[in-house]
């Protein structure tokens, strides 16, 4: 059977389903047809330079009049979003691009998009051999492909599979299909749905970083855990961040060794001098205690006396910020000083204080043939102390050290293969969080790692950073969420923007953890996130912008609200955020405030903003007709929405609202002959109310049977007053609001962790 390619390059035009995406495509650019069972056809793009070099920039074609959203590295470590409609809007170091091609695109013929719907095109710059590709634009609106090895001795004259292009009519499905097609072709990484998720994701956590920075001590750790537990938000997950390791520093301020840069306590050119804990964490007990590692004693205490289930500790990919000291105690790892060389695209976007230090003092790089030994010994020691996993930071530094080691891709892959092998041996729960790692060198090499930090840090003292953070984690998740579960970072519960951040974490599907200083907590806020047993109501998917937000700019355009959608087991959730006022500036090459007083904005929420709502809208009541009830968390309002209707939302600067979208279902055999319609909402006082509803069915007696978790005020919609409610078989009181249809039942605090109530509502 002849297959007609849906992506073609001919006559200087790159077309998708007959619609022109790029014009002026040079003759040296080719597209190789790719297809797979169940996938919309795609193509791998290549180009021939005719000259062998370690760094090439190929012209891909002219991009005009097509809206796009792209993700690019504005720093060595991190991506953020950029929207535009022409080639000049595409930044350097673009690693992902989603283009909306309208039915009116030049040259459009039979579009295959269905009734003039837009077609979505995903462009994925890839790894090929020892080269890594990225996209960029220029002032002529040309889209370009940059490939580089990071080692001047590693050269090529062509790229055969530099960029993969995939098309479809649903943007989220198209992205997933594109990543899975590349997974099948490259066989160097796995999609998120094939990875084991660490168990800490479903428990509330505390990280020591902002609480103590590198001044963290064993006593400080216990103090922080006790402080949160005493207020009713017991952390079950702990990250001991930077500050526990043995390090050495060149601290003489001379021409040969200038003083190292220090930021929030992190000493960027310091090097690891031992794999065990430093003196702050070592045992101070006499007698038998002298033979017991202090870290082990601490872990045993926090698990035994403070109820912590999982303990992770921090380390850098290279050991510490400045690597491993080439000293006698560490000589078995064959560390040698290496001096970072950054990609031109990275340095053109934003200089970095870390690289300023390391480019002078160098980094102690463990030899690739010894890196598995290094990780194995470090992780085996941590595991012997009861540690369950590691947060591996500063990962992208490895890409800058490829010279002499086969290039950036080869060195990064060697380190990641060793890291994943060591984690598998020492931490059976797949205990690893990847951080400062937003390069495709890592993403397309990660077969096992299942959690990735989604954006630059939460900065408690930078008022401009909070809207930027929420926007960045949502848009970055569009891409990162295909590889791993994105981690939207810690935050402070006692902070002017705490509710804003907390609401975002609750719907992000991400781990929920804070970095509060002991005694500085907002327990009213934490009770919206954390149940008394320390568990959280985590949404099922990585949270992403709604379809109508993908190509608007909610940080810069002065008119758009950001909507983020996710699924729960029996409904959906949409968080709406006013993110206007600040963003990364390509002129100033830094984050800046561009509107000190962003105005109040109005938008709308619809049931189909939850893109996959049909997955949970079936049930015993039959097919879903599109009607839903929506519960607004802050407004405390329940509204029934007819099919296609919209609910307006108005938000001021740094404001949010969370809407729980619950498909309306019918009870076919309701007593009295009249039909009864219902929809479970969830725990009304929690940010992610619907996360409490785990099962919903109608039994033979025409009662709605629910399995729910947690405690507090539980709500559901019923079109008429129920006859009675029963909890675990015993009748309980309830209230009913005839105007809205809200049924409310008080669930007591269960005696067991993760307890599921059986709630029956009889009509």
Q: What does DSSP assign to residue 243?
A: S
Q: Quote the radius of gyration of the chain (alpha carbons, Å).
A: 27
pLDDT of the residue at 357: 87
Contact 44, 163 (CB under 8 A): yes
Residue-wise pLDDT tens digits, 602-624: 999 999 999 999 889 865 445 78
Nearest to 295 by CA among 388, 375, 424: 388
The alpha carbon torsion through 342, 345, 346, 348 (nearest 10 deg) reads 110
Q: How far apart are CA 420 and CA 408, in angstroms?
A: 18
Q: Which residue has the tokens 């269905």?
A: 114
CA 397 to each of CA 197, 253, 532: distance values in angstroms, whole numbers, following the listed order: 26, 24, 40
Nearest to 65 by CA among 141, 11, 123: 141
Q: How far apart are CA 476 and CA 457, in angstroms?
A: 13
Pairing between β-strand 131-137 and β-strand 142-148 as defined by DSSP bridges: antiparallel
Neighbouring C-beta atoms of residue 256, cutoff 10 Å: 8
pLDDT of the residue at 259: 44
Residue-wise pLDDT tens digits, 371-385: 999 999 999 999 999
Which H/E stretch holds residue 22?
A: strand 19-23
Nearest to 513 by CA among 155, 240, 230: 240
Q: How far apart are CA 391 and CA 311, in angstroms?
A: 10
pLDDT of the residue at 290: 58
Residue-wise pLDDT tens digits, 625-656: 899 999 999 999 999 999 999 999 999 999 99
Residues 6 or more apart whose Cβ sits within 8 Å of residue 587? none
| Side-chain half-sphere exposure of 701, counting CA atoms within 13 A | 8
pLDDT of the residue at 111: 43
Give phi and psi for 420, each to the nearest 5: -65, -35
Residue-wise pLDDT tens digits, 550-568: 999 999 999 999 999 999 9
Q: How far apart are CA 585 and CA 347, in angstroms?
A: 15
Contact 234, 545 (CB under 8 A): no
pTM for this predicted structure? 0.95
Q: Which residue has the tokens 């810069």?
A: 556
pLDDT of the residue at 2: 47
Nearest to 268 by CA among 330, 334, 333, 359: 359
Q: 3-state DSSP call for residue 347?
A: helix
pLDDT of the residue at 37: 39
CA 291 to chain centre: 41
Which H/E stretch holds residue 165?
A: strand 156-168
pLDDT of the residue at 667: 87
CA 551 to each of CA 97, 98, 105, 172, 378: distance values in angstroms, whole numbers, following the listed order: 11, 9, 17, 13, 44
Burial class (CB in 10 A: 0-12, 13-18, 19+), 491: buried
Q: What does DSSP assign to residue 299?
A: H
Give phi and psi for 117, each to the nearest 5: -65, 155
The alpha carbon torsion through 28, 445, 566, 689 (nearest 10 deg) reads -170
pLDDT of the residue at 110: 42
| Side-chain half-sphere exposure of 444, counting CA atoms within 13 A | 31
User: Own/partner pairs for 111-116, CB < 8 Å, 24+ apart?
Assistant: 111/17, 111/18, 111/19, 112/6, 112/17, 112/18, 113/17, 113/169, 114/169
Q: Which two tokens stand for residue 545?
A: 């912008």
Q: 3-state DSSP call for residue 719?
A: coil
Burial class (CB in 10 A: 0-12, 13-18, 19+), 1: exposed
Q: How far apart are CA 15 and CA 101, in angstroms?
A: 10
Residues 6 or more apart whose Cβ sits within 8 Å of residue 588? none
Q: What does DSSP assign to residue 90?
A: P
Q: 3-state DSSP call for residue 596?
A: coil
Which H/E stretch holds residue 354?
A: helix 353-361
pLDDT of the residue at 669: 66
Neighbouring C-beta atoms of residue 264, cutoff 10 Å: 12
Which H/E stretch holds residue 383?
A: helix 371-384
User: Own/partner pairs for 157-160, CB < 8 Å, 24+ apart?
Assistant: 157/48, 157/49, 157/50, 157/51, 157/52, 157/53, 158/46, 158/47, 158/48, 158/49, 159/46, 159/47, 159/56, 159/58, 159/128, 159/131, 159/133, 160/32, 160/44, 160/46, 160/128
Contact 124, 142 (CB under 8 A): no
pLDDT of the residue at 116: 79
Nearest to 706 by CA among 686, 688, 683: 683
Contact 661, 630 (CB under 8 A): yes
Q: How far apart are CA 315 and CA 419, in angstroms?
A: 12
Q: Which residue ranges of the chain lie beneath pLDDT 50?
A: 1-2, 37-40, 108-114, 251-259, 286-289, 620-621
Question: Looking at domain 201-453, which CATH architecture does it have?
Answer: Alpha-Beta Barrel (3.20)
Q: Which two tokens stand for residue 606?
A: 């619809």
Q: Which two tokens stand for residue 201?
A: 């994701």
Domain ranges across the chain? 7-187, 201-453
Burial code (b: 16+ CB inside 10 Å, e: under 16) for 595-604 equals: eeebeebebe
Helix 371-384 crosses helix 408-426 at what angle (to 10 degrees)?
A: 30
Contact 280, 216 (CB under 8 A): yes
Nearest to 275 by CA among 384, 201, 182, 167: 384
Q: How far apart are CA 188 and CA 445, in angstroms?
A: 5
Q: Which two tokens stand for residue 39?
A: 């996938």
Q: How far apart are CA 560 and CA 555, in angstroms?
A: 8
């Amino acid at each position: 059977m002849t297959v007609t390619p849906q992506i073609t390059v001919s006559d200087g035009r790159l077309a998708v389903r007959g619609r022109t995406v790029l014009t002026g495509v040079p003759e040296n650019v080719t597209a190789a047809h790719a297809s797979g069972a169940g996938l919309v056809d795609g193509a791998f793009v290549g180009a021939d330079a005719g000259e062998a070099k370690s760094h090439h920039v190929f012209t891909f074609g002219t991009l005009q009049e097509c809206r796009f959203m792209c993700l690019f590295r504005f720093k060595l470590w991190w991506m953020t979003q950029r929207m535009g409609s022409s080639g000049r809007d595409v930044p350097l170091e673009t690693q992902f691009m989603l283009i909306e091609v309208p039915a009116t695109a030049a040259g459009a013929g039979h579009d295959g998009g269905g009734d003039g719907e837009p077609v979505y095109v995903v462009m994925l710059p890839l790894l090929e051999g020892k080269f890594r590709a990225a996209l960029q634009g220029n002032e002529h609106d040309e889209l370009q492909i940059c490939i580089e090895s990071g080692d001047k001795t590693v050269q090529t004259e062509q790229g055969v599979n530099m960029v993969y292009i995939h098309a479809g009519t649903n943007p989220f499905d198209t992205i997933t299909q594109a990543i899975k097609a590349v997974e099948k072709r490259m066989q160097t990484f796995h999609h998120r749905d094939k990875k084991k998720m660490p168990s800490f994701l479903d428990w509330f956590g505390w990280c020591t970083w902002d609480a103590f920075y590198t001044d963290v001590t064993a006593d400080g750790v216990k103090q922080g855990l006790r402080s949160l537990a005493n207020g009713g938000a017991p952390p079950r997950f702990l990250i001991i961040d930077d500050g526990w390791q043995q390090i050495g520093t060149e601290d003489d301020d001379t021409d040969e060794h200038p003083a190292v840069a220090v930021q929030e306590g992190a000493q960027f050119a310091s090097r690891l001098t031992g794999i065990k804990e430093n003196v702050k964490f070592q045992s101070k007990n006499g007698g038998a205690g002298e033979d017991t590692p202090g870290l082990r004693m601490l872990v045993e205490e926090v698990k035994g006396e403070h109820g912590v289930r999982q303990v992770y500790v921090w380390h850098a990919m290279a050991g510490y910020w400045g690597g491993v000291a080439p000293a006698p105690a560490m000589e078995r790892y064959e560390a040698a000083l290496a001096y970072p060389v950054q990609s031109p695209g990275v340095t053109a976007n934003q200089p970095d204080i870390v690289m300023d230090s390391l480019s002078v003092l160098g980094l102690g790089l463990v030899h690739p043939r010894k890196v598995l030994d290094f990780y194995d010994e470090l992780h085996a020691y941590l595991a012997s102390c009861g540690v369950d996993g590691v947060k591996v930071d500063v990962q992208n530094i490895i890409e800058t050290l490829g010279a002499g080691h086969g290039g950036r891709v080869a060195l990064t892959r060697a380190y990641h293969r060793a890291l994943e092998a060591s984690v598998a041996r020492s931490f059976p729960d797949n205990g690893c969080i990847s951080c400062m790692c937003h390069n495709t060198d890592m993403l397309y090499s990660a077969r096992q790692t299942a959690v990735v930090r989604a954006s630059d840090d939460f900065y408690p003292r930078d008022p401009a950073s909070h809207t930027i953070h929420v926007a960045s984690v949502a848009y970055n998740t569009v891409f990162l969420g295909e590889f791993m579960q994105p981690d939207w970072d810690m935050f402070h519960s006692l902070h002017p923007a705490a509710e804003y951040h907390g609401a975002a974490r609750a719907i992000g599907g991400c781990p929920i953890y804070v970095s509060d200083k002991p005694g500085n907590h907002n327990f009213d806020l934490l009770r919206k996130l954390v149940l008394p047993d320390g568990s959280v109501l985590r949404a099922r998917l990585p949270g992403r912008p709604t379809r109508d937000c993908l190509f608007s700019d909610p940080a810069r355009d002065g008119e758009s609200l950001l909507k983020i959608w996710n699924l729960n087991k029996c409904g959906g959730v949409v968080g709406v955020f006013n993110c206007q006022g600040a963003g990364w500036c390509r002129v100033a090459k830094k984050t800046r405030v561009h509107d000190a007083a962003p105005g109040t904005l109005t938008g709308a929420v619809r049931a189909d903003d939850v893109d996959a709502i049909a997955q949970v809208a079936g049930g015993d009541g039959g097919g879903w007709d599109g009607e839903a009830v929506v519960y607004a968390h802050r407004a405390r309002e329940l509204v029934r929405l007819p099919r296609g209707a919209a609910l307006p939302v108005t938000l001021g600067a740094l404001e949010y609202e969370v809407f729980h979208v619950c498909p309306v279902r019918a009870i076919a055999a309701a007593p009295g002959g009249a039909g009864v319609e219902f929809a479970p909402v969830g725990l009304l006082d929690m940010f992610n109310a619907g996360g409490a509803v785990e099962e919903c069915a109608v039994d033979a007696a025409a009662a709605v049977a629910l399995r729910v978790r947690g405690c507090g005020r539980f709500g559901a919609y019923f079109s008429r007053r129920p006859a009675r409610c029963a909890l675990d078989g015993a009748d309980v009181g309830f209230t009913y609001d005839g105007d809205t249809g809200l049924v409310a039942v008080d669930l007591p605090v269960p005696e067991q962790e993760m307890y599921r109530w059986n709630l029956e509502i009889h009509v």
